[in-house]
Structure 1
Amino acid sequence: MRKLIVILLAAAAMVTNSLAQDYHFSQFYANPLYLSPSLAGATDGARLAINYRNQWPEISKAFSTYSVSFDNFFPKFNSGIGFYLLQDKAGSVGLTSTHAAFQYSYNLMISKKWQVIPAVQFAYGNKSVDFSKIVFPDQPPGSMGATGSYDRLSNEQIHYIDMAASLFAYSEKYWAGLTIDHLSKPNYSFLNEESRYDLKYVVFGGMNIWSQKRRRTGQQKAFSSSFRYQHQGQYNQLDIGVYWHNFPIELGFWYRGLPVFNNSGSTALNQDALIALVAYNWGPIRVGYSYDITISSLGWSTAGAHELSLIFEFNQNGALRLGGKRPAVPCSETANPLSSKGGKYTRKKRRFF
């Protein structure tokens, strides 16, 4: 009975929370365009990324999130462009959220070691819900919404335009980025009332701790750490962890939570999950799987979350690396994008975790 009550309470709160809060991916570097518009065009050519997240699978019709993105770097203009399409489905009432975005980034070399990438994003959003699946307390049995509660739900779909801006800076060892989303503060209410998205701030970064290249094969071993902090309205979240790469295998482990801050005035300890990642690189293709081990008060009742990612890089131009003219973005197995011996970058391409 206790488990059933927890599940019912979680399901009841799920739709309300999903209206005001953004979508979430544990493998944030495997979904780079959603993390930051500045990462559009971050490879030496074209990249296709596909992501799927199944959150709380023990709860029927909980969160299922899909995304697909494409980006490309144009050396002639020193710029990158990106597109992504994301859809999230939640709850038994069929709440569906769709988000489509276009991104533009520009690469600035401010020194021999540091590069800065500002970027902008323009997006279209849509939310829809199936009112026929909602039963209200004041609704007579067998009726189809002839109640005061039903009358308030006048919109089955919401359409809005949004904007975001970002800045990303990195050297051969360190990287840091800032993304500010929902600059237009779009209205997401189904009730002809004003309920607007809060600004979302995302700060992310990390450090390449150690790397080693095999002499015979040129393949890389690397160890790095990274973090992502998100703030939106009264909600705060921190992901922090480490990655280990031994080509072609990648392993990652990190913690999600922020115990020193409580969300929405709650007295509960603000911690969510432990995440484990395993990924395999096969030529230009990288496949990753991660699992969220829930450590919040929900415990094992929700069965955590499963997440899959697929990245395919093609039309890569390794000549852009020569002489450090466009050093590789860190946060990958390439822990030393600017060679300290000879001044040339020897790898032809880089990958994200």
Structure 2
Amino acid sequence: MPKRFSSLFLPAKRGLAPALLLGTALGAHGQDVYFSQPYATRLHTNPAFTGLVDDYSVTLSYRNQLPLLAGSFVTAQAAADVRLNQPGQHHALGLLINQDRTGAIGYTRFEVGGLYAYHTRIKEKLALSGGLRASYGRQRVGYDNFVFGDQIREDGSVAGPSAESLDFPPVNYFSVGTGAVLYSEQFWLSLAGQHLNQPSLGFRKQSELPLLLNLSGGYKFFKVKPGPGVATREVSYTPVAAYTRQGGSQRVETGIYFTASPVTLGAVYRNIYVPGSVGSQHVLAVVAGVQAGGLRLGYSYDVGLSRLSADLGGAHEVTLALRAFDRLENAHRRLKKRVYPAAPCPTF
């Protein structure tokens, strides 16, 4: 800890110290937030998912991580994408807005990015999507919840502002990412890299936003395959797996989704390793979602399986999507070989 914080006094609030450590880790090491519904927040996962699942969609996401702490880590996200009809449905555009906030230390990180994807057919039943993402970000730390030693009177009450020098101005940065998705009507394989330019997030000293690599995929087994009609029914189960690495942190996930239209249920086991922590965190994310017409609503809860993750209180996550997908028109285009296979990944 820097010397100028040697007189720092933190109120004895349950969970404030862990929250401070969390915010410090996220700020200093620049770790990105992760979601328990990666396919509802798929534009965050890989820009190549832009325009791949729906004709167009708008998705709002809210994640409250570590709710038992005095300052939980809250993420709010808005995403939108549209597949362009001309020329040939090859192109798609997207917008992604993300804000992370830690209440205990006033840490906030805001990011807005534009996305582009190009879709092409490799074979009759095999297609490839490539995507790009360019983002502007701003990171800052507030000090409203900090109480320093020179503010404490002899009777224990808190005096006026501190004389401590808090010279941590906000940091602005630009980030670039790319990705690709190879898919058919039953399997997909996704590879994405974010922060390829590793922008600086240093306040007083240089620290970079580490390169994030994500590899994920799955295979959908149909029990009842949906047809071209609007009211068609799907019954399927989909095993999924993912590996993510950012800096020295690693995350391995494996799980399964079950869909019986209009309901989707899922369970994903997550093993998280962070350098310097006491062992790995083991988490089970339980996912439930429902789709009615052009509306999707999803909820997930992270159940801590290890002592550390259980003590921190897991995470609540809610997603709401408005989307459009014309099955009749899509079937017509597919018959004329003017469209690509429908991406089989879950929607939550």
TM-score by length of structure 2 reads 0.85
Paired residue for 2:275? 264
Instruction: Please give the alpha-carbon distance, in whole angstroms, between the structure 2 residues aligned to 1:242 and 1:39.
Output: 20
Per-residue deviation, 1:43: 3.2
Per-residue deviation, 1:271: 3.0
Instruction: Please give the alpha-carbon distance, in whole angstroms, between the structure 2 residues aligned to 1:102 and 1:272.
Output: 34
Q: Which runs of 5 or more residues in structure 2 are unaligned?
A: 1-11, 154-158
Paired residue for 1:348? none
Paired residue for 1:144? 161
Paired residue for 1:337? none
Q: Secondary structure at the match of 1:93?
A: coil
Cα-to-partner distance string for 1:241-276 (whole Å, 9 max, x where unaligned): 000001111100110005xxx5315451x2331011
Equivalent pairs: percent with the same residue? 27
Paired residue for 1:10? 18
Query: 2:182 aligned with 1:169, yes or no?
Result: yes
TM-score by length of structure 1 reads 0.84
Paired residue for 1:202? 214
Paired residue for 1:181? 194
Equivalent in 242, 257, 260 of residue 228 of structure 1: 242
Q: Secondary structure at the match of 2:147?
A: coil
Q: 1:143 to 1:76 in 2, by over 3 A?
A: same
Paired residue for 2:78? 68
Query: 2:296 aligned with 1:296, yes or no?
Result: no
Q: Secondary structure at the match of 2:123?
A: coil
Instruction: Please give the alpha-carbon distance, in whole angstroms, between the structure 1 residues aligned to 2:341 and 2:78.
Output: 26
Contact 1:15 1:91 in 2 (8 A): no
Q: Secondary structure at the match of 1:131?
A: coil
Per-residue deviation, 1:32: 1.1
Query: 2:246 aligned with 1:246, yes or no?
Result: no
Q: Which runs of 5 or more residues in structure 1 are unaligned?
A: 333-351
Q: 1:133 to 1:267 in 2, by over 3 A?
A: closer
Per-residue deviation, 1:295: 1.7
Per-residue deviation, 1:95: 1.0
Instruction: Please give the alpha-carbon distance, in whole angstroms, between the structure 1 residues aligned to 2:93 and 2:309.
Output: 41
Per-residue deviation, 1:138: 7.1
Paired residue for 1:343? none
Contact 1:280 1:288 in 2 (8 A): yes
Contact 1:49 1:69 in 2 (8 A): yes
User: Aligned Cα RMSD in Å?
Assistant: 2.3
Contact 2:64 2:73 in 1 (8 A): yes
Q: Secondary structure at the match of 1:15?
A: helix
Paired residue type of 1:190: F
Query: 2:119 aligned with 1:107, yes or no?
Result: yes
Equivalent in 232, 235, 250 of residue 218 of structure 1: 232
Q: 1:138 to 1:295 in 2, by over 3 A?
A: farther
Paired residue for 1:281? 291
Contact 2:171 2:201 in 1 (8 A): yes
- List aligned pairs for 1:80-159, cutoff 5 A: 80-136=92-148, 142=159, 144-147=161-164, 150-151=165-166, 153-155=167-169, 157-159=170-172
Paired residue for 2:53? 43
Q: Secondary structure at the match of 2:235?
A: strand
Instruction: Please give the alpha-carbon distance, in whole angstroms, between the structure 1 residues aligned to 2:321 and 2:219.
Output: 22
Paired residue type of 1:61: G
How many correspondences in the alignment?
322
Q: 1:233 to 1:285 in 2, by over 3 A?
A: same
Contact 1:45 1:316 in 2 (8 A): yes
Instruction: Please give the alpha-carbon distance, in whole angstroms, between the structure 2 residues aligned to 1:218 and 1:10.
Output: 49
Instruction: Please give the alpha-carbon distance, in whole angstroms, between the structure 1 residues aligned to 2:302 and 2:139.
Output: 26
Q: Which range moves more in the overlay, 84-93 or 312-321?
A: 312-321
Per-residue deviation, 1:313: 0.8
Q: Which range moves more in the overlay, 79-88 or 11-20?
A: 11-20
Q: 1:6 to 1:211 in 2, by over 3 A?
A: farther
Paired residue type of 1:306: H
Per-residue deviation, 1:66: 0.5
Q: Secondary structure at the match of 1:194?
A: coil
